[in-house]
């Protein structure tokens, strides 16, 4: 086989299409061909924690039923409520933020760690791989996660850090803090429009956590954004990292 074809096959394997190369069919690459990975950055809500916030109800409460349906139809990958309300008047923003905070406070009362999160973090610690966190939730939620589950992320950036996801700034900030290159980091999250977009724009590897096959629906067929990897559980991330990367601090 010509060397150019061998190189092309190697590149395609390093960046598999999530639907074309299911995790269960990924075979181990030799150490020489693995890409170095020095850090993993996680989303929090729906990734490190079990989803408890009803975002659809939150958006309807902020926007109203009719406006919610209109915007949802125009944005099949999801509504970016935080950016949307930035163009509103100060009084409208205050009322919207009060609604959002109320939903988030109720979510804190039911905060649960995602199955596999503790084990994955323990594995990363055993390899001395850095762990960071980026969330659009508030600092109070991050602090509670650290306290309740005794698992620390550093840096851990909440929405008080501006600009927030999907802007790449928070991920680039973490890379700078760690003194690593973005292509030595993976962004893991459950949102295509926030987590995968943030990772892609920063130049990092991306992994989409899709527990229930949400992103296989027709709503996302025309979305021009695709993660490097797609998994249905955090346990699969462990296997994915060992299979495809040279884990070196």
* Secondary structure of residue 145 in the 3-state scheme: helix
* Secondary structure of residue 221 in the 3-state scheme: coil
Catalytic residue among 45, 190, 194, 195: 45
Catalytic residue among 43, 80, 195, 228: 43
What's the angle, vertex CA 115, arms to CA 148 and CA 41, rounded to 5? 75
Is residue 219 annotated as part of the catalytic site, yes or no?
no
Is residue 91 annotated as part of the catalytic site, yes or no?
no
Q: Which residue is it, tokens 């509103």?
A: 88
The strand pairing partners of 229, in sequence order, are 207
Distance CA 8, CA 191 (A): 29
- Residue 140 DSSP label: H
Distance CA 183, CA 199 (A): 10
Catalytic residue set: 43, 45
């Amino acid at each position: 086989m010509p060397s150019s074809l061998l190189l092309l096959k190697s590149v395609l394997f390093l960046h598999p299409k999530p639907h074309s190369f299911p995790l269960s069919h990924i075979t181990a690459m030799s150490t020489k061909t693995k890409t170095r990975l020095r850090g993993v950055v996680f989303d929090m809500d729906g990734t490190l924690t079990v989803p408890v916030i009803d975002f659809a109800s939150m958006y309807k409460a902020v926007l109203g039923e009719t406006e919610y349906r209109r915007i949802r139809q125009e944005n099949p990958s999801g509504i970016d409520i935080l950016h949307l309300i930035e163009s509103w008047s100060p009084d409208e923003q205050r009322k919207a933020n009060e609604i959002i905070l109320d939903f988030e406070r109720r979510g804190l009362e039911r905060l649960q760690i995602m199955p596999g999160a503790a084990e994955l973090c323990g594995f990363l610690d055993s390899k001395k791989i850095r762990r960071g966190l980026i969330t659009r939730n508030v600092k109070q939620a991050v602090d509670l996660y650290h306290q309740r589950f005794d698992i620390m992320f550093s840096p851990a950036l909440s929405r008080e850090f501006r600009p927030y996801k999907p802007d790449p700034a928070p991920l680039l900030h973490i890379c700078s803090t760690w003194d690593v290159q973005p292509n030595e980091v993976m962004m893991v999250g459950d949102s295509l429009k926030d987590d995968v977009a943030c990772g892609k724009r920063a130049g990092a590897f991306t992994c989409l956590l899709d527990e229930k096959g949400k992103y296989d629906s027709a709503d996302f067929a025309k979305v021009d954004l695709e993660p490097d990897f797609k998994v249905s559980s955090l346990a699969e991330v462990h296997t994915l990292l060992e299979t495809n990367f040279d884990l070196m601090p």
